[in-house]
Amino acid sequence: MTDIIQPLRGTRDFYPEDQAVISWLYENMRQVSESFGYQEFDGPFLEPIELYAAKSGEELVKEQAFVFEDRGRNLITLRPELTPTLARMVAQQQQHLHYPLRWWSFGPFWRYESPQKGRSREFFQWNVDLLGLDSPEADAEMAAVMAVFFQQVGLSPDQVQIMINNRRLVDAQLQKLEIPPRKQGEIFRLIDKRDKLEDAAWEAYAEEIGLTSKQLDSIKAMVEDEALWEESEELVRFFRAVEALGVGDYVQYAPHIIRGLDYYTGTVFEAQAVTADISRALLGGGRYDNLLADVGGDPLPGVGFAMGDMVLAIVLEELGLLPEGRGVTPADVLVTVFDEATLLPSYSLSAELRQAGLKVSCYPEVQKLGKQFKHAGRIGSRVATILGPDELANGMIAVKDLESRKQELVPRGEAADFIKKLLDKASSS
Ligand code: HAM
């Protein structure tokens, strides 16, 4: 074992059972995105670091981005998130695209973080974004996409909640406290750390950024004021629209949610598991009305979110909601090989059955039939075929049901239909 080169810290190997979970998530994400009329897109995995320097925030750029120099001495980043790429792609084609624009994507991202439960250095994100609308109803559509996804994978409102706040509302409160606008970024970071730091460390951080104890008390009160949203016309409209979309049970106001990325300007989202034993967010997102201009485009409002695969899979696993037995059935049919003379005819038979739409693998060499059947059982095949010299001479195939152990001789031309019926019967029983 010690001779095997170890994988990099914070990366994951996807054995077939693990890959099956990713494929299943991707499929659900596709279905939900398409049910809201979103179009799939993707960008490069490599980007120049300046793209994120535009507005993602210092932590992401200076601490978390994987950056390296290419042979031409350019600084290259493995994408830590998609939103700046999306903004650039829209800006490049801004006059030719139709708005509102609804795009979604699924793919890998990289951040240099300390690996821990629900967090690694290489992870997947589902991104969903809506550009060209600046209404609270557009924000509500985002919440509905998240909620319908949760419904689809079996997560109820008792198990997950989407938390909402609004940065404009928080800003207005900070102004009332006479906190200078230049301090806004630091205060947002302070609020973002409320859940992540112990009380004493949090207060020390507040002192570090120069808050008086009176200001700190007011901020504490603000992040606990459950009724503050009523002062925000945007949030009042947002919650009404969420009800109209039928997902009100999944959504709640949470005055302490602010999110870490600098480009958010209005409503922000975060989803949390209520019952599962994990505190990290399932997803994060928000409204970003200045990002298009920040990457060089014309001003264009946008809102979106990204859901990672890791916390989601942990929550689904803990609640017993991951699909079982996936990734273990590569082929329904194993074509066995009887002897040297029938090896190639068996290969031809496997091609015929595949052509007829069956999933078929062919045993690669002559072996005792018992051993071949055992292999079929191990890889999860339900049916095996036998093509010996007699069958070959008579244009017949022996088809064996590996569960009932029953074997029947059928004409070669009818074998595919016979097997399909057998499989149908097996899957419906
Ligand atoms: P974010 O809040 O940085 O937002 O990340 C969104 C989600 O990605 C997180 O809630 C988490 O599920 C997952 N994630 C992030 N970092 C890691 C990690 N190191 N390991 C595992 N999962 C992770 C964004 O990325 C924004 N670009 C989202 C967005 C789209 N905003 C508007 N549109």
Ligand 1 centroid to Cα of residue 134, in Å, is: 22
What is the position in ligand 1's atom list of the atom closest to the CA of 119?
A: 20
The token pair that represents 23 in the structure block: 């494929």
The whole-angstrom separation of Cα 327 and Cα 22 is: 11
Distance of CA 221 to the CA centre of its chain: 35
DSSP E strand boundaries for 295-404 = 302-308, 333-335, 360-362, 383-386, 396-401
Residue with tokens 């109820």: 156
Q: Taking the chain (429 residues) in consecutive chunks of 10 residues, what is each chunk's mean pLDDT?
A: 88 93 96 98 96 81 91 94 97 98 98 95 98 98 98 97 97 90 88 87 90 90 94 98 98 94 95 86 97 95 98 95 74 96 97 97 95 92 96 97 96 97 91
Sequence-separated (6 or more) residues with CB below 8 Å from residue 140: 238, 239, 241, 242, 244, 245
pLDDT of the residue at 178: 86
The token pair that represents 384 in the structure block: 């095996």
Ligand 1 centroid to Cα of residue 220, in Å, is: 26
- The CATH class given to the 16-318 domain equals alpha beta
Q: How many CA atoms lie within 13 A of 308 on its CB side?
A: 24
Distances (CA, A) of 402 to 15, 325, 371, 415: 26, 18, 13, 16
DSSP E strand boundaries for 132-179 = 160-166
Of all protein residues, whose CA lies closest to atom 2 belonging to ligand 1? 284
The whole-angstrom separation of Cα 189 and Cα 205 is: 10
What is the position in ligand 1's atom list of the atom closest to the CA of 83?
A: 27
Of all protein residues, whose CA lies closest to atom 8 belonging to ligand 1? 308
- Identify the CA nearest to 168 among candidates 55, 288, 58: 288
Q: Which of 60, 119, 125, 160 to mutate to test the pocket of ligand 1 (most atoms within 8 A of CB)?
A: 125
Ligand 1 centroid to Cα of residue 124, in Å, is: 9
pLDDT of the residue at 33: 98
pTM above 0.85, yes or no: yes
pLDDT of the residue at 269: 98
Residue with tokens 């602010």: 258
Ligand 1 centroid to Cα of residue 284, in Å, is: 6
Sheet strands side by side (includes 75-78)? 46-48, 75-78, 66-69
β-strand 75-78 against 46-48: which pairing, if any?
A: antiparallel
Of all protein residues, whose CA lies closest to atom 21 belonging to ligand 1? 119
* Ramachandran angles phi, psi of 251, nearest 5°: -120, 135
Q: Looking at residue 7, what DSSP letter applies?
A: P
The token pair that represents 55 in the structure block: 């507005």
The whole-angstrom separation of Cα 352 and Cα 350 is: 5
- Fold for the domain defined by 333-428: Rossmann fold (3.40.50)
Coil, helix or strand at residue 267: strand
Residue with tokens 């090989």: 337
- Identify the CA nearest to 84 among candidates 111, 120, 57, 115: 57
For the chain, the domains span 16-318, 333-428
What is the position in ligand 1's atom list of the atom closest to the CA of 283?
A: 10
Ligand 1 centroid to Cα of residue 308, in Å, is: 6
Q: Looking at residue 62, what DSSP letter applies?
A: I
Which residues' Cβ are closer than 6 Å to ligand 1?
81-83, 111, 113, 119-120, 123, 125, 127, 129, 259, 261, 281-286, 304-308, 310-311
pLDDT of the residue at 324: 79
Query: Are 283 and 252 contacting, i.e. CB atoms less than 8 angstroms apart?
Result: no
What is the position in ligand 1's atom list of the atom closest to the CA of 125?
A: 8
Task: Give the torsion through C-alpha atoms of 105, 109, 111, 114, to 10 deg.
Answer: 100
The whole-angstrom separation of Cα 406 and Cα 373 is: 13
Of all protein residues, whose CA lies closest to atom 14 belonging to ligand 1? 308
Task: Give the torsion through C-alpha atoms of 176, 180, 184, 185, to 10 deg.
Answer: -170
pLDDT of the residue at 2: 67
β-strand 122-131 against 101-110: which pairing, if any?
A: antiparallel
